[in-house]
């Protein structure tokens, strides 16, 4: 079960400044006339064009002249990009907008994914688990990365209603249902070498 969140998602980049939110990423060139694939992280993918100029972490700005759907991605025409080589140089460039340009939200019902970064995480018994350090999406849904309060390797938990049943952005914390260790159901298996 997916969580109800605004997908003007991405986490702010360490180089982008806390006031900007990742909303898109350029992909490969598309054709020979400067069109480029665009991966939108907005709730409605075509809404990426509604925010005006988009900014890279290095300060460059990009005006989207047009955006159209193509299979499972968007294709954008970018002002000043007129050939395949220019489009290819933008590959994998992340695009941001200022947080104040995003629509307001009601934190009791929904939130921006970037709002989760920095929240304290506690288990269902109220015990401190750690702190959310990042939100990733590797294609199968959002995943929270949590730095454990006791130290050690980070925890990667799916951001679902079952795993994260409660989110209190304004209070600064979330509840996580940690996976429990299960008995080895294949304990009587006999794996031997001949």
Domain that holds residue 131: 113-176
The DSSP call for residue 92 is T
Residue 94 scores a pLDDT above 60: yes
pLDDT of 105 strictly over 80: no
Among candidate residues 70, 101, 132, the one where a domain is terminated: 101
31 with 85, same domain: the answer is yes
Could you tell me if 119 and 75 lie in one domain?
no
Distance CA 194, CA 39 (A): 51
pLDDT beyond 70 at 1: no
Query: Comparing 30 with 168, which gets the higher pLDDT?
Result: 30
Instruction: Determine what percent of the chain is predicted with pLDDT higher than 90.
Output: 54
What is the pLDDT at residue 108? 55
Q: Is residue 134 part of a domain?
A: yes
Domain end marker among 101, 121, 136: 101
pLDDT value at residue 106: 64
The domain that holds 49 is classified in CATH as: 2.40.30.60
Residue 47's Cβ-side half-sphere holds a number of Cα atoms within 13 Å equal to: 14
- Domain-embedded: residue 161: yes
- Do 74 and 132 share a structural domain? no
Same domain membership, residue 162 and residue 92: no
The answer to whether residue 187 is domain-embedded is: no
What's the pLDDT at 6?
43
Q: Would residue 11 count as lying in a domain?
A: no
Q: For residue 4, is it within any domain?
A: no
User: Over 80: is that where the pLDDT of 115 sits?
Assistant: yes
Same domain, 92 and 124: no
Q: What is the pTM of this model?
A: 0.63
Please tell me the least confidently modeled range out of 31-35, 77-81, 133-137, 165-169. 133-137
Is 53 inside any structural domain? Answer: yes
Number of domains in the chain: 2
Same domain for 83 and 117?
no
CB proximity list for 61: less than 8 A, separation 6 or greater: 53, 54, 55
DSSP string, 32-80: SSS-EEEEE-SSSGGGGGGG-SEE-TTS-EE-EEEEEEETTEEEEEETT
47 and 95 in a single domain? The answer is yes
The CATH number covering residue 119 comes to: 2.30.30.240
Give the pLDDT mean for 180-186.
45
134/161 same-domain check: yes
Q: Does residue 169 form part of some domain?
A: yes
Same domain, 37 and 95: yes
Residue 184: pLDDT over 70: no
Is residue 23 classed as helix, strand or coil in its secondary structure?
Answer: strand
Q: What is the band of 113 on the pLDDT scale with cuts at 50, 70, 90?
A: confident
């Amino acid at each position: 079960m997916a969580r109800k969140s605004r997908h003007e998602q991405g986490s702010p980049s360490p180089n982008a400044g806390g006031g900007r939110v990742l909303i898109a990423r350029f992909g490969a060139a598309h054709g020979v006339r400067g069109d480029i694939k665009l991966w939108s992280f907005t709730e409605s993918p075509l809404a990426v064009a509604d925010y005006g100029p988009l900014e890279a972490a290095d300060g460059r700005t990009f005006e989207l002249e047009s955006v159209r759907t193509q299979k499972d991605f968007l294709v954008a025409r970018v002002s000043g990009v007129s050939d395949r080589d220019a489009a290819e140089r933008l590959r994998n460039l992340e695009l941001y907008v200022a947080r104040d340009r995003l629509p307001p939200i009601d934190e009791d019902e929904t939130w921006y994914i970037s709002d989760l970064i920095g929240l304290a995480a506690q288990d269902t018994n109220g015990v401190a688990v750690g702190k959310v350090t990042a939100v990733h999406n590797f294609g199968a849904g959002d995943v929270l990365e949590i730095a454990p309060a006791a130290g050690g390797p980070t925890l990667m938990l799916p951001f679902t209603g079952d795993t994260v049943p409660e989110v209190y952005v304004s209070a600064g914390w979330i509840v996580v249902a940690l996976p429990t260790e299960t008995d080895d159901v294949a304990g009587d298996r006999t794996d031997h070498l001949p």
